[in-house]
Chains A and B, each alone.
Chain A
Amino acid sequence: MAAGHSPMEQFAIKPLIPIEIAGYDLSFTNASLWMLLAVGAGCALLTLGVKRDGIVPGRTQSVVELMYDFIERQTVGNVMGESGKKFFPFIFSLFIFIFFTNFLGLIPYSFTVTSHIIVTFAMALMVFATVLVVGFWTHGLHFFSLFVPSGAPAWIMPLLVPIEIISFLSRPISLSVRLAANMLAGHTMLKVFAGFVVTMLGAGGILSVLSIAPLIAGVLVTALEVLVAAIQAWVFALLTCIYLNEAVHLHEH
C-alpha cells in the first residue's frame, strides 16, 4: 500500500475553517461538518416525513413512523413502560444522531464521526450524567442503595459494594468504546479490503484475477456495516433505556 493510503487515514481530523480563541484550537473540522450534516439530515427526514400526515403514509412518512415506533414502543416502552415517556425525546434524539452519523460515514470519502471515541464518550457521559441527575432527583440519597445488592449477606458487602460501584463507573466507558470500536473496526476492514483490490490489480498476472476475492469480501463487509450502523445506534439507545430504568426504579425490576 502506497504511503498516504493507510487504512487509518480516513479517521484523520482536518480543520476546514481554522478558529483559535484564547489559545484554544476551536477550528471547524471535518468532524464538525459531518456532525452538522447528520443533524441536518435527521431534522430534514423527520420534518419532511410528517409534513403531509396522510392516514395512508407515503414512503418518507412510513420510514419516520417506523423509526418512531421502533424507539417509542419497542425500545423505550418495552424497557421502561410508562415512566419512559419523559425520556423518549432524549433517547430518540440520541438514536437519530448516532444513526445518521453512522450511515453518513458509510458514504465513500465521507467522515465517520462516531469512530472517534471522544464523540461517543461525550454522549455516554451525557447519558451517565442524566442517570445520576434522574436517580438523585427521584430517590435522593436513597439512590445509593443501587450499589447495595439486595439479598446478599452483610459480611460480603465490603466486597460487593466496590464491585457494584466499579461496574457502575464502567458504563460510560463500555457504552462509548463499543460504538467507536465497532465503527473504527468496520471502516478499517473496508479500507483494507479495498486496498487489497488495488494492489492485487496493480501486481498483474494471476493476482489480478484473484483480486475479485477481496472485492467480494469488501461488498459483503459493506452490507455488514449497514447492519452494524443501525444495530449500534439501537444498542446505544437500548442501553440508555436500561440505565435510566434502573435509576428510576432502583431494584424493583
Chain B
Amino acid sequence: MFRADFGGGFVRPRGPLATTQSGPDDDPDQRRLDDLGRKIEAVREQQPKPRPASSGRLNVVYRLSTEFVAAVFVGLALGWGFDALTGWKPIGIVVFSMLGIGAAFYNVFRAARQLSAEQEKKD
C-alpha cells in the first residue's frame, strides 16, 4: 500500500513479483537507482566521520567516579556489618574498607578498559 505512492518506479516490489519482470541491467529505473546509490556513497565517503558527542568526557568522569565511590561504600558497609555481627569493633571496618579501596581501584581500572574498548570500536 505504501509502495503505490511512488508510482511504481522508485521502490521495486520484492519477492516473486520482481523476478517475473525484466532483469536489473536493462531496467532504466534500476540503473538510475544504482547510480544514485553510488553517488550517495561517494559523497558519504568525502564527509568527515562524525565525532563522538562532547559530553563524552563528562560521562567518563561520572562513570569512573561512581565506580570508585560505590566500591569504597560497599567495603565500609561490609566492615560495619562484620563489626556489628562479631563485635570486633575496629577490625572489620579497617580491613574491609581497605579491601573496598582496592576494589575501587580495580573497578576504575576495569571501567577504563571497557571505555577504551568502546572507543576503539567507534574509530
Chain A residues within CB distance 8 Å of chain B = 52, 54-56, 78, 159, 162-164, 166-167, 169-171, 173-174, 177-178, 181-182, 224, 227-228, 231, 235, 242
Contact = CB atoms under 8 A, between A and B. Distances in A.
Contacts of B59: 228, 231, 235
B74 A170 contact: yes
B78 interface: yes
Given A167-B106, A177-B66, A231 B55 contact: yes
Contact of A163 (B62, B99, B114): B99
Shortest 4 CB-CB contacts between residues of A and residues of B: A54-B2, A174-B70, A166-B103, A170-B70
A166 B55 contact: no
19 contacts: A55-B3, A56-B6, A163-B102, A163-B106, A164-B103, A164-B106, A166-B74, A166-B96, A166-B103, A167-B110, A169-B74, A170-B71, A174-B107, A178-B66, A182-B62, A227-B55, A228-B55, A228-B59, A242-B114
Given A163-B99, A163-B106, A170-B104, 17 more contacts: A56-B11, A78-B121, A162-B99, A162-B103, A163-B102, A167-B110, A170-B70, A171-B70, A173-B73, A174-B69, A174-B107, A178-B63, A224-B55, A228-B59, A231-B53, A231-B59, A242-B114
Contacts, number: 74
A177 B69 contact: yes
Contacts of B3: 55
B92 interface: no
Contact of B71 (A56, A159, A166, A178): A166
Contact of A181 (B55, B66, B78, B102): B66
A166 B53 contact: no
Interface in B11-35: 11
B55 A167 contact: no
A1 to B, nearest CB: 26
A248 to B, nearest CB: 17
Using C-beta atoms within 8 Å of the partner chain, give the interface range for chain B.
20 to 34
Give the interface SS of chain A, mostly helix, strand, loop or mixed: helix
Contacts of A181: 62, 66
Contact of A178 (B2, B62, B110): B62
Given A163-B102, A167-B106, A170-B103, A177 B2 contact: no
Contact of B78 (A54, A166, A242): A166
A251 to B, nearest CB: 13
Interface string B67-104: 10111011100100000000000000000100110111
B40 to A, nearest CB: 15
A224 B100 CA distance: 33
A227 B53 contact: yes
A225 B73 CA distance: 28
Contacts of B66: 174, 177-178, 181
A231 B58 CA distance: 11
Nearest to A166: B103
Nearest to A230: B53
B52 to A, nearest CB: 10
B106 A173 contact: no
A114 B59 CA distance: 17
Contacts of B102: 159, 163, 166
Nearest to A228: B55
Given A163-B99, A167-B103, A167-B106, A173 B70 contact: yes
